[in-house]
Amino acid sequence: MGRLQGKTAIVTGGSSGIGAGIAERFLEEGASVIVADRRPLEGGLADRSGESLAFHETDVTVPADLSGLFEFAAERFGSLDVLVNNAGASTNDGTILDVDADDWDKGSSLLLRAPMLGVQLAAPLMTSGGSIINISSAAALRTGAAGPRTYSIAKAALLKLTTVAALDLAGAGIRVNSILPGFVFTPIMNEALGATPEVIEEYRDEIEAILRQAQPLAIAGAPDNIARAALFLASDESAFVTGAELIVDGGLTLLPSLFEDTLQRFGELAQRIAERTQA
């Protein structure tokens, strides 16, 4: 405990899912955290709001909202030690021929432009150095032809943004790294399956069974698996690490065929859920 004692952090998209897991882990390790999200704090985070945890309503696709977030951080903390660019959402497209230009722009502004602006706004506040963590995805790597196109392409570009920023900010003592999660049970899954949280909860056992089969390590990915990786990159234990791609996927990228098989299983589940909803 206390690995982030005295540090201040911003976590975008931190009200639920991976972002909430990271915020909770950071708080447990002594950090002061600002959660930025369009949605209010949920669950345990809502109960912890106070001196060490603040919420700032933010749509990261709106530059003025992002500017307001970092102005709030400067007023509250004076400086910043950690930024986690986590806010994201899945996209719904078929082949590259099916990608809609407007959907492409929306996906890119959320998944790529927002992290870039976050880097620009965070760096001046990191007066004593710091750590910027970009949440990419295993979908950015060896995933064959499967997966949402706009999402996968933007997450791959985020890896390049990470290395460019790592070089540009090294002189200021700011480390920039990325985490590439595999399949993790989060609210994004609700969107992908086209179901409400209540319906998803009914299928929890089946979803977790699919997730255990999704990669060589028979573990259903959870937000805290990613949060622990973020803790390492946020802490002084990673003081000599920058420009790195930390894959946290249970070995998914070692067997790309599993990615496609898992998407097929989720597709079949989504179809059953849709048929149930229509019945």
Q: What pLDDT score was predicted for residue 147?
A: 66
Q: Give the residue numbers marked as catalytic.
A: 151
Listed range (77-86, 189-198, 231-240, 267-276) with the worst mean pLDDT = 189-198
Q: What is the pTM of this model?
A: 0.93
Q: Which domains does the chain have, with CATH numbers?
A: 8-184+222-252 (3.40.50.720)
- pLDDT over 60 at 132, yes or no: yes
pLDDT per residue as tens digits for the range 169-223: 999 999 999 999 999 988 777 777 777 888 888 898 999 999 999 999 999 999 9
Burial of 1 by CB count in 10 Å (0-12 exposed, 13-18 middle, 19+ buried)?
exposed
Q: CA nearest 214: which of 177, 133, 159, 269? A: 269
3-class DSSP string for 37-79: ECCCCCHHHHHHCCCCEEEEECCCCCHHHHHHHHHHHHHHHCC
Name the least confident of 1-10, 172-181, 192-201, 265-274.
192-201
Where do runs of H (alpha helix) occur along 78-148? Answer: 101-108, 114-122
Query: What strands, in cross-sheet order, belong to the sheet with 8-12?
Result: 53-57, 32-37, 8-12, 82-85, 130-135, 174-181, 245-248
